[in-house]
Chains A and B, each alone.
Chain A
Amino acid sequence: MNVVLTKKDLEKIEGCLGKIISSSSTPLSVLLIDRSGQLIAQKGDTPADLDVMSLAALTAANFGATAEIARLLGEEEFTLLFHKGKSENVYFSSVGEHTIMVTLFNDQTSLGVIRLKMNQIIGELGSIVSCIFEKGKTS
């Protein structure tokens, strides 16, 4: 299986991620990564010095590890994770079975707002992503 991202696919994904960014008045950065740790797309005010490749790999590992914890507890997986820092926060949410969305935001934005925005686009984003991965299965 190989995953092929065409310009059109990426435009659709970035369009979706853009909806979260455009409706926010505070700095926000959104990344879509696959569960093996590869970066698919990013949108928003990602800090220039942020190593997004490492972030993608660590996110996939983090999600994988917590999925194992979930299984130990009899759950299929935890579909969202939240890490709170002094001023920076990260929200991880699974998008279908293949990808994870990472939202970086500061303490001016409330978690509730992020979750609300995510819920508004997650269905649309999920179907775009599953189309891409389905194509990969047949190639």
Chain B
Amino acid sequence: MPFINFSKDEIQCKIVYYGPGFCGKTTNLQYIFSVTEEQTRGKMVSIDTKGDRTLFFDLLSMNLGKIRGMDIRVQLYTVPGQVHYDATRKLVLKGVDGVVFVADSLKVQRKKNIESLINLAKNLAEKGISIRAIPLVIQYNKRDLDESDSEILPLEILEKDLNSMLKVPSFSASAIKGHGIFETLREISKLVVKDVSRKIMFMDKQQARV
């Protein structure tokens, strides 16, 4: 649900990073926060527990420049990944305009990825949003573990598990090293802005008819 403010010439959108626990959603935001200039971003707000697990959400606000003379401001949110925090995830999804699904490449997390994606589809559906209609990007995180002893899933398996039906843009990434983070952000921002522009054009046409 974008907020289009014609008084301030500003569009506010909400992008949510979704995925299973410990997949690296917060690390994505922390990396973006650490390398972005202060003029283009706000403060990073985190509500987490002592064990570094997100309790409620993380939030980072960013300016993405202008389209059709209007400033685009996006708010990046993460959700808590643990299964029992479903009520919190539903709250954070309220008014969402785009989703980044962060998948964990670790082999042991294969089932958790699928469960989390199904949970996303269910929670969106409860809000009357189809997972096939909302701007969505999938990120395969922790690809750097390829060089370690940890067993990770090949990209083809992850694609088959998570993206064979959706066929949305996907990126391999290492949030901790910063690889693929901005590619993911750029793509989801592009999709959200395109979606909002389409809505504005539709409104223009409606107004022209009146």
Contacts and interface: CB of A to CB of B under 8 A. Distances in A.
Interface of A: 1-7, 9-11, 34-40, 51, 53-54, 57-58, 60-61, 64-65, 68, 136, 139
B5 A36 contact: no
Given A36-B94, A57-B75, A5 B5 contact: yes
B148 interface: no
Interface residues of B, number: 31
B6 A54 contact: no
Contacts of B92: 61
Given A5-B3, A6-B6, A53-B75, A139 B95 contact: no
B4 interface: yes
B56 interface: yes
Contacts of B77: 57
A87 B202 CA distance: 49
Contact of B87 (A38, A68, A139): A68
Interface of B: 1-7, 12, 14, 42-43, 45, 47, 56-57, 59, 61, 75, 77, 87-88, 91-92, 94-96, 196, 199, 202-203, 206
Given A2-B3, A38-B75, 10 more contacts: A2-B2, A4-B4, A4-B203, A7-B6, A37-B94, A54-B42, A58-B45, A61-B91, A61-B92, A68-B87
Contacts, number: 86
A58 B57 CA distance: 9
A57 B61 CA distance: 10
Nearest to B129: A1
Nearest to A64: B91
Contacts of B3: 2-3, 5, 34, 38, 40
Contacts of A37: 14, 59, 75, 94-95
Contacts of A39: 12
A53 B196 contact: no
Most buried by B among A2, A6, A37: A2
